[in-house]
Amino acid sequence: MGMLDWFKGIMKGDKGTPEQALAAAAGTGSDENGAEIAGLNFKTAVDAHMKWKVRLESYISGTSTEQLKVEVVCRDDQCPLGKWIYDQGGEKFGYSETFFDMKVHHAMFHRCAGKVLAAAQAGDSESATRLLNTGEYVKASERVKMLLARLFVMASEGKEAIDSHVRWKARLRDFIQGKSQEDLKADAVSRDDQCTLGKWIYGIGGERFSSNPAFSVLKSRHAQFHRCAGDVLEVAGRGDSQTALHMLEEGAYPDASEQVAAAIVKLFQKPSPVA
């Protein structure tokens, strides 16, 4: 199981104890640096979030050596994830509904954790244990974990989609020059829902950005780009490789490619603050 697959499993709600999930992550054999985006290692963040229950259980049972304070634990801006949310996370993902939801549920989680700790410090271990294992704490904890995973998948697949678009020119050039092992067909390449970026647009990208006008622009320009790429292959298929190669450098194809790149930048661009 790769790192991205592990996050997708969390996003889909795969069941398992925290210990099992952590063991599965450790067994991926993946470089954990691949889980870092915008200054946050998402796997480390999920790990730390999942360990909160163990930390609180130890505190309730009296086996913890931590000096936890309710006024600190109940705040959502003191833990590493919270500090990221209010810094680089907000700068990078502030446009995202998923990020906003995660921020809200993360704040709820810390309020619930504070209640658990307050009960434990009042000597009511029974109530503290009940609060920890049922109700709002459990719901908030699961939502934070799932939303972190969704944000990671969204960012990772979006980046992969962008990278794949950049590689199209080299793929087409190699195919026209007979240097490629790919069997590119004009009718397939002309479609905008078959490439990695297209699948992202019609999948998780569309789910998260459909209400954003910049996404509609990207979708339209991406479709135009694939029509142009299909035209290049049609010319190459008629045996006119010189013209096809020229089309990659001048005219509709490079214009369409640049338009897609500009639309991608616009989509992920942080909105300017309103004066």
CATH code, domain carrying 44? 1.20.120.30
In a domain, 145, yes or no: yes
In a domain, 274, yes or no: no
Residue 41 has pLDDT above 90, yes or no: no
136, 184: one domain: no
| Rounded CA separation 10/142 (Å) | 9
| Rounded CA separation 55/51 (Å) | 6
The tens digit of pLDDT for each residue in 80-126 reads 999 999 998 888 777 677 888 899 999 999 999 999 999 999 999 99
99, 221: one domain: no
- Asked if 78 contacts 72 with a C-beta cutoff of 8 angstroms, the reply is yes
H or E stretch at 60:
helix 42-61
178, 141: one domain: no
| Number of independent structural domains in the chain | 2
Domain boundary among 101, 125, 153: 153
Q: How sure is the predictor about 12, in pLDDT bands with cuts at 50, 70 and 90?
A: low
Phi, then psi, of 40 in degrees rounded to 5:
-125, 130
82, 56: one domain: yes
8, 133: one domain: yes
149, 189: one domain: no
In a domain, 194, yes or no: yes
147, 59: one domain: yes
Residue type, 248: L
Phi, then psi, of 36 in degrees rounded to 5:
-95, 125
100, 189: one domain: no
- Asked if 116 contacts 126 with a C-beta cutoff of 8 angstroms, the reply is no
Residue 129 has what pLDDT?
A: 96
CB within 8 Å of 35: residues ≥ 6 apart = 3, 7, 41, 42, 43, 44, 152
Residue 3 has what pLDDT?
A: 62
Q: How sure is the predictor about 39, in pLDDT bands with cuts at 50, 70 and 90?
A: confident
Counting residues of the chain whose pLDDT is more than 90, the rounded percentage is 52
135, 212: one domain: no
In a domain, 158, yes or no: no
| Rounded CA separation 61/70 (Å) | 17
17, 134: one domain: yes
In a domain, 206, yes or no: yes
The tens digit of pLDDT for each residue in 217-255 reads 999 999 999 999 999 999 999 999 999 999 999 999 999
133, 183: one domain: no
Query: Whole domain around residue 120: which residue ranges?
Result: 3-153
